[in-house]
Amino acid sequence: MKILWVSNTCIPQAAELVGTAADVGGGWVAGLAQTLLQTEHMLISCWPVGTKTPLVTASKDNFTCYNFPRHLVRRERYLPNTERRFAEIFQKEQPQIIHIFGTEYPHTLAAVNAAQRVGMLSRVCVSVQGLIGACAEVYNAGLPNTALHKYTLRDFVTRNNLFQQQREFAARGELETRALQKVKHVIGRTAWDKAYVRACNPNAVYYACNETLRDAFYSGVWQYKNCLPYSIFTSQCGYPLKGFHFLLQAMPQVLKVYPQAHLYTTGPNLTALTPLQKLTGSYYAVYLAKQIKELGLSGHITFLGGLSALQMKEQYLKSNVFVSPSSIENSPNSVGEAMLLGMPVVASSVGGTNSVFTPNEDGLGYAFQDTQALAQAIITLFADSARAAEMGQHARLHAQQTHDAKKNLADILSVYRDICGA
C-alpha cells in the first residue's frame, strides 16, 4: 500500500533523509512512522516549512518525503501555492491513502482541496489532534482582561498579542470546520472529538484509533524511592491553553502544607528575564514572570529549557507528581507519557482527557479553573505516597493498552484498507 502523510511537523525519519533538524512536536506521528516503516508498505511524508525555504524531495527504500510552504507568522493564512504543491505531489505519487494529521492549520484545507481537485478526495482521511476551533473558545481562560490587550515589542511587530492569538485560533477554526465538512473519513480517539466531528459533518465515517507515543516512554517505571519528594513536573508553559497560570495560582496553597514543594517545567527561565527578553518575548511570558514574583514563587520554580524525549523521560521519573493543568486537550500526549511510566498524575478534566485518563483510578482529576481543587489534588498525592504509587501502576496498565504500538498500527492499517477497499 502506498500511504501519504501530511503532518504539522518534520518527523525524525524525514529530517535524517534531507539533513535537517527534526521538530520537537509530533512525537506520536514519529512513533507510528517507526512501526510503519518496518512493514512492506510505502510511506510518503509531507511537512511544512516557511515560504522562503526551498522545496525539497528525497527518497530512500520505501520512504519518500516532501516539504510544502506554510506561512510561519500569519498562521491563519491560506496559501494557494500550498494547494498547488499538494496537487503536484498527489498526482506524481498516486497514493492509495492520503492521511492528514491534524486540523489545526490552513494546510489541512489546502490538502483536502488539492485532493478534491485531482479526484482523490475519497482517499483522504483526517486525524483529529487538537481542535483549534474549540481551543479558541478558551484560549485565554483564567487571564485578566488587562493582560489580553498588552503588548511586548515582539507582539506589536508581529501583531500577535494574547487577544490577537485568540482571534487567530478562531480564524484557523473556521478553516478547520470547512476541511471537516468536506472529508469523508475522520480518525479520532475520544468521545469529545467524536461529538465535535459529528457536529461538523454528520455524514463522515468516524474511526476510533489511539496514538502511539515516542519510543522512549515504553521503557522505565516510576518509583517513589527514586523521585524527588514534593516535586511537581508540568511539560509546557509557552502559551495560555496549557494552563501554567492556573498551576502558579495553586502553588501558594501547596506551599502552605509543603513549604519544600518545587515546580519544574520546560522553557526559558522566566524568573530572570532580561530587558531584551521582555521586549522580544510574548506578553504571556512577561505575565507569568510577574505572577511568579507577586506570588513569591521565584525560589520554588525551575525552568529546564528545551528537553529531548530522553531528558523528558528522566524528568518524569524523578518527579513526585505530574500535572496537566490545560484549559483544553483532546488526549494529551504528556499525560499518556506520564501514565506509561507509571507516575502519579493530576489532570484537568477537559475535552477528551477522561477518555484516556480515568480520575480516581489513574490519578486525580479536577475542573480546570478550580485552582483550590488543583492544589488539593497535589497535596493529596504528596501526603499518601502508597496511594500515589498505586494510581501510577493502574495508569501504566491503562496506558499500555491505549498506546499499544502494535495494536495501534494494526488499527490504522485496518482504517486504510477500509478506505481504499483493499
Q: What is the pLDDT of residue 33?
A: 83
pLDDT band at 40 (very low <50, low <70, confident <90, very high): confident
Predicted confidence at residue 133, as pLDDT, reads 95
Are the C-beta atoms of 258 and 348 separated by less than 8 Å? no
Query: Domain residues for 15?
Result: 2-212+404-420
pLDDT for 374 beyond 90: yes
| pLDDT greater than 70 at residue 74 | yes
Question: 278 falls in which pLDDT band (50, 70, 90)?
Answer: confident
Q: Are residues 33 and 130 in the same domain?
A: yes
Q: Over the stretch 318-354, which tens digit does the pLDDT of each residue have?
A: 999 999 999 999 999 999 999 999 999 999 999 999 9
Q: In this structure, are 234 and 166 located in the same domain?
A: no
Place of cell 479526484: 119
pLDDT score for 26 = 59
- 42, three cell numbers: 510505502
Can you tell me the mean pLDDT for 51-75?
88
What is the pLDDT at residue 182? 97
Among 170, 2, 313, 27, which Cα is nearest to 11's? Answer: 27
Per the listing, cell 506578553 goes with 283
* Percent above pLDDT 90 for the chain: 79
Scored b (16 or more CB within 10 A) or e, 89-102 reads bbeebebbbbbbbb
Number of neighbouring beta carbons within 10 Å of residue 314: 14
Determine the pLDDT at residue 53. 86
Pair 186, 233 in one domain: no
Is the pLDDT reported for residue 422 higher than 80? no
The answer to whether residues 207 and 250 belong to one domain is no
Give me the count of residues in the chain: 422
Q: Give pLDDT tens digits for 208-232.
A: 999 888 889 999 999 999 999 999 9
- Distances in whole angstroms, Cα of residue 279 to Cα of each of 73, 89, 273, 282, 288: 18, 41, 10, 8, 14
Query: How many folded domains does the chain comprise?
Result: 2
Kindly state whether residues 166 and 254 are assigned to the same domain: no
Res 24: pLDDT: 63
In this predicted structure, the answer to whether residue 361 has a pLDDT above a threshold of 60 is: yes
pLDDT for 171-192, tens place per residue?
999 999 999 999 999 999 999 9
- The CATH number of whichever domain residue 382 belongs to comes to 3.40.50.2000
Q: Are residues 247 and 361 in the same domain?
A: yes
Residues 14 and 81 in one domain: yes
Residue 212: its pLDDT value, please? Answer: 87
- Looking at the fold, whether 83 and 222 belong to one and the same domain comes out as no
- Please give the pLDDT value at position 134: 95
Q: What is the pLDDT of residue 154?
A: 87
Q: Residue with C-alpha cell 492549520?
A: 105
Are 233 and 196 contained in the same domain? no
Sign, CA dihedral 215-392-304-168, equals: positive
Same domain, 23 and 130: yes
Residue at 319: amino acid letter: S
Alpha carbon of 58 to those of 99, 387, 408: distances in Å? 19, 51, 27
Average pLDDT, the chain: 93
**Residues 76 and 163 placed together within one structural domain of the fold:** yes
CA distances from 339 to 82, 128, 199, 346 (A): 38, 21, 31, 11
Q: Work out whether strand 262-265 and strand 301-303 pair parallel, antiparallel, or are unpaired.
A: parallel
Residue environment code for 287-300, b if the CB has 16+ CB neighbours within 10 A, otherwise e? bbbebbeebebeeb
Q: What is the pLDDT of residues 279-328, one digit of tens each?
A: 888 999 999 999 999 999 999 999 999 998 899 999 999 999 999 999 99
The CA distance from 26 to 391, in Å, is 27
Same domain, 43 and 88: yes
Confidence at 61, pLDDT banded by 50, 70, 90: confident
Q: What is the pLDDT of residue 25?
A: 61
